[in-house]
Structure 1
Amino acid sequence: MEPTLEQQLQLIEPGSQQILMTVCLNVTLFFEGGYEKSKREAILSMFADYQQMMAGQLNFTTNPQTGRWKDLRQSTYMTPDKWLLDTDEDEAWNFIYHGGEHHRDASDIRFSVLGCGDWEEEGDDLSWVTINFPLTFFADYSESFQDVLLRWIGALQPEHGYAAIATTHNHYDNTQYERSEYQFAQQYPGLDIPDHIGHGMHLKPHIKGINWLTIIHQSYLDTVGGLDALKTVEGIQVWQQGDVYLIQAADKPALQHIPDSYYQLGALFEPIRVKEHDTVHSTEAPGEVFNTPEDYQEWLARFDQKPGAEASSRD
């Protein structure tokens, strides 16, 4: 029997058997107003959905004040609805839940959110929420992934975001996965390589880029020609919730063989794609990891045009 994608791309530390990195179906949304009651209520509604979807599988959370891990299999712990709405507007806030067997494990079951205080959003910081699902979760679920995302997008009204098959990392800064992650990124262009904290500091005036599902606010879309511009891209589907659009580039998320629609969307959104971003790896190993900001920026540009297109245009 051939190994599954999860088995191929999962990295386990030999001694401790802790999961350093795995893959998941991920959605990440960047939003303004993390200090506003309506945005916090939207996050709580999304998390309530996720709790229902992952019933009995959320094993760990943290104390919102100290960051200490709490094992939910041993005892219950206060949920975010008990404290989030009472948090002052000038305070940043966050919470995380995941389904690993150990609190340090990377997990394809995870809900993590960071909300900015009002003073932080005066600069370029954005709040963000990132949510993992097992790759086959929606095969047997009563709703489609798109249906769930449309409900969440309607409630949160994010600035932009994306959904794709993505790597997800351990919770104790063990960077042994970085060489493998870099190799996977070269082998599978459709695989998303995240740095949510870094993205939150760089993506207020820009988007990260496109992927299987691209989420974008009307104000960003208008800068590249609006809905009329999207009509020039073949093979996509578009839904709208309020002022936010969900754009699907293909029937299924592509990993290795990338459809033309990805490159057409990438070219359309290139003017607002982030051009300056820190590297996502800390290992010093040129050619083996995203060693410099330029390495990661080159990867972010992978859908700007189809490989070979520039050479063909010169012939």
Structure 2
Amino acid sequence: MDKNFLQWARENQSKALIPNAVLEPRHSHEGIGAAVVIRGCLYFEKAYDAEVREALAQCFDDYCAAAGDKLTFLWHNAKAAQAFKKAKPMRELAAKLGENDRFDFDYVSGERASDAGFWSFNIFGMRGWEQKMGTRGVDVLEFSFPMVAIQEDPDAFAGMFFRFAQRLKAVRGHAGFAVNLSPTDQTENESTEYWVSQLMPGLDVGSPPANAERDMQDKIKSVDWLTAISKDMLDRVGGVSKLRSELPPAWFSFGDYGAGVVIRAGVLPDGGLSESEDKPPVLPPAYVVLDAALRPIRASEMEILQRGTVNGDAPVYNTKASTAAWLRRFETDENRLLAAKAALLDTPQLTAANALPNPL
């Protein structure tokens, strides 16, 4: 990693914090509404189960060891926010919840409880009876780091994502560029998320808990820097041997987490942001290649990614057509797929140090 770039990133980190509802003139702009981050999302089942809840607590222990004192507030089960330092530990709060209680924890790092921040650790866990009905989707864990932390040590994040997938027996997941939105003003800041996604096509869009509730157990929403797929999904794309034939090993690696595999696409996440303001964004070549390989299990349509505000003037992904266009943004013809494979040659190659645990 270029030391000069890292120094620039450290000095300009505040530019990744965006004022509240910056594109919504009818709403207050006080506070931070959005933060551009690297975020991991893992979809899993049985958040109502005591063993899974303990696995989530272990994941939180690992995250706190990395985040240090960055977390500032906790939102828990629709109650008022508490200062993190005064809140009871997750295990103690979890011990008071029954199987049919929601298992929701939303740890954030803003100066105010309503602010978006770089650091977050959020669990959306359904009630036991809801999940046993089989009609409400799955549970989700999402966690984020500032971009600079990943640029300095991408392998630490990749290892954490793998361990979390392993503990939770994740059914699917992904990690890469994303936008954390204010926990209290999400719809007011969806237009900001949309705007950033136009500059960075490699960026994830949409609320992970909202995605978790939708019926996508047999599909992934998108490929990403890190993409977790179940063993069933792996079989449906031809297995590891087929993927190896389509994904050059110098840029793609695999790690077996038990319930599935994690695929790493490159040394660092790629947002596709243009290096020059007068040039359009570029589709990350690794993601274009991976999307083609995983096309049979990647959703091509779903319900809307965003809702937006009533009478909002700024665009959002609030139609099936715009949502489908985003889902299919990496689709390309054979000639452009070959061009993307050629473009990989100009990106850093993975080394032995970048290997995922339990490599395949």
**TM-score (ref. length: structure 2):** 0.77
> 1:143 deviation in Å?
6.3
- What is the SS of the residue equivalent to 1:165? strand
Deviation at 1:100, TM superposition (A): 0.6
Counterpart of 2:269 in structure 1 is 253
Greater share of helix: 2
Among 234, 253, 268, the residue aligned to 1:221: 234
1:68 and 1:286 map into 2 onto residues whose CA distance is 31
Task: Choose the corresponding residue for 2:17, options 10, 20, 27.
Answer: 10
Q: Give the root-mean-square deviation of aligned CA atoms.
A: 2.8
Say which of 239, 244, 254 aligns to 2:255: 239
- After superposing the two structures, state which structure 1 stretch, 170-179 or 145-154, moved more: 170-179
Confirm or deny: 8 A CA contact 2:202 2:224 kept in the other structure.
yes
Give the equivalent residue in structure 1 for 2:38.
25
CA deviation after TM superposition for structure 1 residue 139, in Å: 5.2
Equivalents in 2 of 1:146, 1:127: separation in Å? Answer: 21
Alpha-carbon distance in structure 2 between the residues aligned to 1:71 and 1:306: 51
Q: CA deviation at 1:254?
A: 1.2
Residues 263, 306 of structure 1: 8 Å contact kept: no
Match of 2:317 in 1: 290
**In 1, distance between residues paired with 2:17 and 2:213?**
28
CA distance in 2: counterparts of 1:210 and 1:220, whole angstroms: 13
Sort the Cα spacing of 1:22 and 1:6 in 2 relative to 1 into closer, same or farther, 3 A.
Answer: farther
The question of whether the paired residues in 1 share the 8 Å contact of 2:114 and 2:183 is answered with yes
How far, CA to CA, are the matches of 2:30 and 2:115 in structure 1?
9
What's the secondary structure of 2:128's corresponding residue?
coil
Question: Which is further off, 286-295 or 215-224?
Answer: 286-295
Alignment partner, residue 69 of structure 1 = 81
C-alpha change, 1:115 and 1:306, in structure 2 (3 Å) is farther
Of 292, 298, 304, the residue aligned with 2:331 is 304
Farther off after superposition, 44-53 or 176-185 = 176-185
Pick the aligned partner of 1:38 from 37, 48, 51. 51
Q: Distance in 2 between matches of 1:61 and 1:287?
A: 30
Matched positions, count: 308
Q: Please report how far the alpha carbon of residue 99 of structure 1 lies from its aligned counterpart in structure 2 after TM superposition.
A: 1.0
The match for 2:292 is: 267
SS across alignment from 2:286: helix
Instruction: Name which of structure 1's ranges 186-195 and 157-166 shifts more when overlaid on structure 2.
Output: 186-195
Q: Aligned partners of 1:5 and 1:281: how far apart in 2?
A: 31
2:178 alignment partner AA: A
- C-alpha contact 1:260 1:306 (8 A) present in aligned 2: no
Are 1:52 and 2:33 matched, yes or no? no
C-alpha distance in 1 between matches for 2:227 and 2:166: 15
**Partner secondary structure for residue 123 of structure 1:** coil
Distance 1:115 1:140 in 2: 32
| Unaligned residue ranges in structure 2 (runs of 5+) | 1-6, 23-27, 273-281, 340-360
Which runs of 5 or more structure 1 residues have no equivalent in the other structure? none
C-alpha distance in 2 between matches for 1:131 and 1:2: 25
Distance 1:17 1:206, change over 3 A: same
